[in-house]
Each structure stands twice: as structure tokens, then as C-alpha cells.
Amino acid sequence: MAALGGDGLRLLSVSRPERQPESAALGGPGPGLCCWVSVFSCLSLACSYVGSLYVWKSELPRDHPAVIKRRFTSVLVVSSLSPLCVLLWRELTGIQPGTSLLTLMGFRLEGIFPAALLPLLLTMILFLGPLMQLSMDCSCDLADGLKVVLAPRSWARCLTDMRWLRNQVIAPLTEELVFRACMLPMLAPCTGLGPAVFTCPLFFGVAHFHHIFEQLRFRQSSVGSIFLSAGHLIGPVLCHSFCNYMGFPAVCAALEHPQRWPLLAGYALGVGLFLLLLQPLTDPKLYGSLPLCVLLERAGDSEAPLCS
């Protein structure tokens, strides 16, 4: 190589073409335009989801069964059509994911059991303090509680309760589909996988600000308590449903509880164990191959930290 001299080295460097992003190779728009298309697509999805809740004009509060039933229809329609936005994004950017749309959105059997169990376990560890508080304040023992939970009548009552269906089934399914399954593939080629994971909750959180105006309108709560309860961490549907069930941790009630010191120790232990187990329990190797990594590789980002 030294015998080639400077001109020879320059010739070798020229003869090696740099790898271009998939969109450029396909004649699609440049990276800047791709990012604008991605952000606009995510904003459109968020606005469509929230806007669908208000196509029905009503003076009733959001927890009224009639309002919940109408909103079920709206969000189910928007959620069913949301994959079309990903298809349109793919056509506009020219990025070919290299896998099926459903697989890219997280509908796959590979790694389904650890994906269902480990994130839920991690979330329950984070809520160790509130779970202890719930068990201390419950008048029934463990055996009676399990009988109630496993009783068919209890589930039948839940399935006829519109608020339960909204909080535990419809909201987790539709919100995770729109704000995670559809948005994450569109944002990842633009921002990278890590930033996209933290950007999706921003769309999710902003989309929930309409609850603030609704609760203030019907004077259901104060401004301070509303801001504390609006929004959840994005995660799998089971974690979302669990968080909806638990609500925001009642720290003030724990401070005034007769057994506050064990409770506070449970709160601290839960947060500590959550931080300790967060990385090992979210290791991508536990959940099989990541379709998003295939997407990033085809988009020109083959060195994504979470994919290496």
C-alpha cells in the first residue's frame, strides 16, 4: 500500500463508496425531509386520536357511560386506521423496513412470553410501596382476595363496567397501538432508537392534556392534583393497564398512614430495585430479534446502541 503513494491511497478511498441511507438509495427524500414527514405523521396521529374523542358533542362528563361508549367507537376507528399512516410514511420516505408491517409494529410471537411477563414484573416492583399500601388498607385476607379476583361474577361485572373497560382494556390497547406501535417505527430512523423511545411519551403526554380541561370544566379536581395524575409511562399494554389500575402513587396518604415507616421503606425499596433491575430486565436479547433494528440498518443507521 505504501508503494502506491498518496495518489494511490486517494484512488483506493474513492473506489470505496460510502454507504448511503436506504431512502437515498431508493431515490426518496433526504434525511431532513424524512424527519419532517415522521414528526408530521406522529402529530397527525396524536391529533386524530384526541380529536376523535370530541366528534360527539355532549355536556356530560367523560366518565358517563354514554360518553364512554361513543368514544369507544371513535378511538377504535382511529386505531384501526393508524397502520395506514405508517404505510403512507413508508411511501413518502422511501424507507423499506425489510419486514412486515405487523412485525414492525410489535405483533409477533417471538419472545412474547418474556415481553408479557418481565416488563409487568418490573412495573410491579416500581409500585411495591403502593401495592403494600393497598394490601394494608384492604380488609380481606389473601385467600378471600384471590377468590374475588378469580370469581367469574367479578369478571362479568368488570366487563359490563364502562369505566373498567376503558381504563383496563380499550385505552391501553388503542393508545399503545397509536402512540407506540405506529409512532416508534416512524421516529426511529429520524432520531435513532434511544431518543425515539423517549420522544413517543412526549406525544402521549401532550395528547392527554385535554383531560386537564375536562376535569377543570366539571370541577372534578384541583389544578395541582390534575397535573400529577395526567399521563403514564409508555410500555406494553399490560403495564399500561396495570398503571391505569394503580393510578398515581398516593405518597401523601402514605406519609399519614399509621404504618408509614414500613410503607416508605417499601416505596424506597421499589424504586431502588426498579433502577437496579431496569437494564437487565429490558435487555433486547431477552425478547428475540428487534424488527426496528432491521429498519434502522436499512435506513443507514447500522450502529444503533440498542441494536449492537
Count CB neighbours of 107 within 10 A.
13
Per DSSP (E only), the strands in the chain are none
Q: What is the pLDDT of residues 261-281, one digit of tens each?
A: 999 999 999 999 999 998 888
Could you give the 3-state DSSP secondary structure of residue 174? helix
Note the pLDDT of residue 13. Answer: 33
- Cα angle 83, 99, 234; round to 5: 50
Note the pLDDT of residue 216. Answer: 47
Which of 69, 61, 65 has the alpha carbon at shortest distance from 211? 61
Is the pLDDT reported for residue 8 higher than 60?
Answer: no
Distance between alpha carbon 104 and the CA centroid of its chain, in Å?
14
Give residue for cell 409500585. Answer: 127
Instruction: Quote the pTM value.
Output: 0.76
Of the residues 175, 211, 232, 240, only one is catalytic, namely: 175
C-alpha distances in Å from residue 134, one per residue of 112, 164, 176: 30, 18, 27
Local structure of residue 291 (DSSP, 8 states)? H
Q: What is the pLDDT of residues 157-184, one digit of tens each?
A: 888 999 999 999 899 999 989 998 899 9
Q: Give the mean pLDDT of 207-217.
A: 55
Q: What is the pLDDT of residues 93-117, one digit of tens each?
A: 888 888 888 888 888 888 888 888 8
Of the residues 64, 208, 210, 257, only one is catalytic, namely: 208
Delimit the domains of the chain by residue range.
31-299
Give residue for cell 384501526. Answer: 80
Note the pLDDT of residue 217. Answer: 52
Overall size of the chain counted in residues: 308
Question: Is-catalytic flag, 256?
Answer: no
Is the pLDDT reported for residue 81 higher than 50?
Answer: yes
List the grid coordinates of 18. Answer: 460510502
Question: Is-catalytic flag, 110?
Answer: no
Distance between alpha carbon 76 and the CA centroid of its chain, in Å?
17
- Cα angle 301, 303, 306; round to 5: 105
